[in-house]
Structure 1
């Protein structure tokens, strides 16, 4: 009876272990989205947590305006005055009906750009910054390349359909990653309503309303932590959407392009929940941290992190990232305190998460004779060996001389 009980107990423990292992080994199942191109990206590291045709170019419609907003914030002050030219009032599509010669602040034009998706204000900002739509498009493409965009070509600042106006989910995420660093962008993009005061050409206030349902608390799609988003639509481009959200300093960006079913709000909420529920951001090192000690032969020093290092991992992954310093010998290298002397690999489950620059906390100089702390022991050993050889040679010479003296004494 006791034997049967023991066998049953062992079988039960094995059953529990196997099932727990199976549960832990399950891969995460991401949500499905109707858009043809989609991405979920961590804004801190750029790690892609979900992807669907992320490098396929699509017409982005008014999500283009986040690049226009970025260039405006980089090149203008919010209180700068813009005098509207001839062309912006003639812009097609959505607009707030600005007038030629009207004087508006950059801030007001940005609110209209991001809340009402106004094409006329997009063109007014473009002309204010670059002088013409064509030159502004060149600036847009130049900045896109600087951000790492590889499959993007902008033709206009508004996103009006053009067969050569294209971007990808990944490229748009990179642009959103940059513009969302600006507090002014986050403030404007999260504003529900705004009024442009009367101007020299308009006696009436212009009320503006935010079209992003993820920031509207009375919406079924309201998402706590959302700190900016932009919708887009044209008949040829279909629906598009880009959004960012932040929870506990873990910031995610979702992009949906060419959505014919208009489920982008629901799909973006599902993507963001998938990211926040299943992943976490880990800060491994802060700038200035002593990462480890380097000790080789008689060289001893602290290796200091030159920058913060973050990585993203699945919440159910209990593995810890490790540091690989490589095999570089620092004994033969001159360096000063604060110099970058090593590039360490950060590994998680044998996957390379990136590199961390490491600096020294002290100076080190190799002798002008080439004798450094690393080869002193070798030179000392060589000296001892040569000394012993010399002593043996001297002893042998003395023995020979002694024999010769004895020989002469014997015969003479």
Structure 2
């Protein structure tokens, strides 16, 4: 009986150990419902997980993150926006979605329109900002697409500032992530996007009572509410979106231990994007590390002159890379001394660049600057000058020694002369 118990216990322990061992295997990414999904490291732009990352989808109100970006980059928070006198007539279709009920001739601060844009997802806020910045929705759409290309977006085709459905208004999950990556750098965005409640002050067209009733805003991003089951620690902000054609979409950013991640979920039939976003962010923070390889100004390598002089080449900026937490790999690079064809080096000027690889995979490019000012001719002249200085010192020493010897000789002659007399 004792032997049987011993055998059973041994088998149980073996099974238990096998079960524990499976947890040491690499963790698979969560299964999320969106047709277009991206989990991006914000510092490097590296995609940690993706599904149909470059496929275009109608983005609905997640469009408004580009409108917010252009507003922050082209205006000041206290700038006054004057609503045009025909605004309500030409923008009557905006009533199909959320609005602030802006009135013709109303004067309102940019900051308050941004709160309306990001908290209530007000379509008229988006149009008012677009007209204020570019004069018209059409011109603003051109600006949106231009800025998207500057950010590295390859699929963005914006037709309006609010995301109301247009068959040509499309963007990919990757491009939305790139836009939020840039937007999340601005503290103004993070402050607004993480504010739970906000009441827009009275304007020239509204009294305080009407404002409290119609313009008391509640943030639609549930990840920001502390104490709620959806709350996510470190969230920097986000934006929801929905139309019948686009289905559900959601973008969010979160930072923990100076590591920021971006998540994009597009064209999701299920309204589980908050849960999916939390799962993706957990996957990212739990399984990946952000590492710094070089700091700005740090010596990366040296350029060697034929005369043996070594010129330090320094990093033009910080260089980061991402690894999974089990990896011990370090970035490598090749530097060809003969590839540099310059006559002189000026401190702080770009000399060359290097490609960095991790496990033989390209991870980025780094510009190298000269760490010193150096010119072969100047150094040669300096050498000549130094040699002349040495000669001057030598000749001077010899001259002084000669004077001393001559003085001693004269003293001796004087003494001899005195003795004779």
Q: Same fold (TM over 0.5)?
A: yes
The answer to whether residue 130 in structure 2 is matched with residue 126 in structure 1 is yes
CA distance in 1, matches of 2:341, 2:278: 54
The answer to whether residue 350 in structure 2 is matched with residue 340 in structure 1 is yes
CA distance in 2, matches of 1:330, 1:77: 44
Query: Residues 260, 305 of structure 1: CA spacing in aligned structure 2 closer, same or farther, 3 A cutoff?
Result: same
Determine if contact 2:37/2:263 at 8 Å carries over to the other structure.
yes
Query: Where does residue 264 of structure 1 map in the other structure?
Result: 273
Deviates more, 1:197-206 or 1:321-330: 321-330
CA distance in 2, matches of 1:279, 1:326: 32
Deviation digits for residues 277-303 of structure 1, max 9, x if unmatched?
A: 000111111111122344465132322
CA distance in 1, matches of 2:369, 2:274: 46
1:363, distance to aligned residue in structure 2 (A): 3.8
1:149, distance to aligned residue in structure 2 (A): 1.2
Deviation digits for residues 86-130 of structure 1, max 9, x if unmatched?
A: 235622311121211111111111101000000111111111111
Q: Which residue among 89, 105, 119 is the counterpart of 1:115?
A: 119
The answer to whether residue 318 in structure 2 is matched with residue 280 in structure 1 is no
Q: Counterparts of 1:113-262 in structure 2 under 5 Å?
A: 113-203=117-207, 204-205=210-211, 206-262=215-271
Query: Where does residue 315 of structure 1 map in the other structure?
Result: 325
CA distance in 2, matches of 1:365, 1:82: 55
CA distance in 1, matches of 2:141, 2:32: 31
1:25, distance to aligned residue in structure 2 (A): 9.3
CA distance in 1, matches of 2:273, 2:206: 36
Q: Counterparts of 1:41-60 in structure 2 under 5 Å?
A: 41-60=40-59
Deviates more, 1:24-33 or 1:36-45: 24-33
CA distance in 2, matches of 1:269, 1:328: 50
CA distance in 2, matches of 1:37, 1:282: 28
Deviation digits for residues 11-50 of structure 1, max 9, x if unmatched?
A: xxxxxxxx9xx98994441111110001011111100000
Determine if contact 2:304/2:337 at 8 Å carries over to the other structure.
no
Query: Where does residue 9 of structure 1 map in the other structure?
Result: none
Q: Which residue among 344, 360, 370 is the counterpart of 1:350?
A: 360
Determine if contact 1:303/1:358 at 8 Å carries over to the other structure.
yes
CA distance in 2, matches of 1:331, 1:168: 42
Q: CA RMSD in A?
A: 2.3
CA distance in 1, matches of 2:226, 2:37: 25
CA distance in 2, matches of 1:52, 1:340: 38
1:348, distance to aligned residue in structure 2 (A): 1.7
Q: When the two structures are superposed, what TM-score results if normalisation uses the length of structure 1? A: 0.80
Determine if contact 2:298/2:315 at 8 Å carries over to the other structure.
yes
CA distance in 2, matches of 1:227, 1:202: 32
Q: Counterparts of 1:378-389 in structure 2 under 5 Å?
A: none
Q: Counterparts of 1:8-47 in structure 2 under 5 Å?
A: 26-47=25-46
CA distance in 1, matches of 2:269, 2:341: 63
Query: Residues 160, 290 of structure 1: CA spacing in aligned structure 2 closer, same or farther, 3 A cutoff?
Result: same
Determine if contact 2:116/2:217 at 8 Å carries over to the other structure.
yes
CA distance in 2, matches of 1:108, 1:174: 25
The answer to whether residue 99 in structure 2 is matched with residue 95 in structure 1 is yes
Alignment coverage as a number of residue pairs: 349
SS of corresponding position for 2:171: coil
> Which runs of no fewer than 5 residues in structure 2 stay unpaired?
1-17, 379-421
Query: Residues 107, 293 of structure 1: CA spacing in aligned structure 2 closer, same or farther, 3 A cutoff?
Result: same
Query: Residues 100, 307 of structure 1: CA spacing in aligned structure 2 closer, same or farther, 3 A cutoff?
Result: same
Higher helix share: 2
Determine if contact 2:81/2:107 at 8 Å carries over to the other structure.
yes
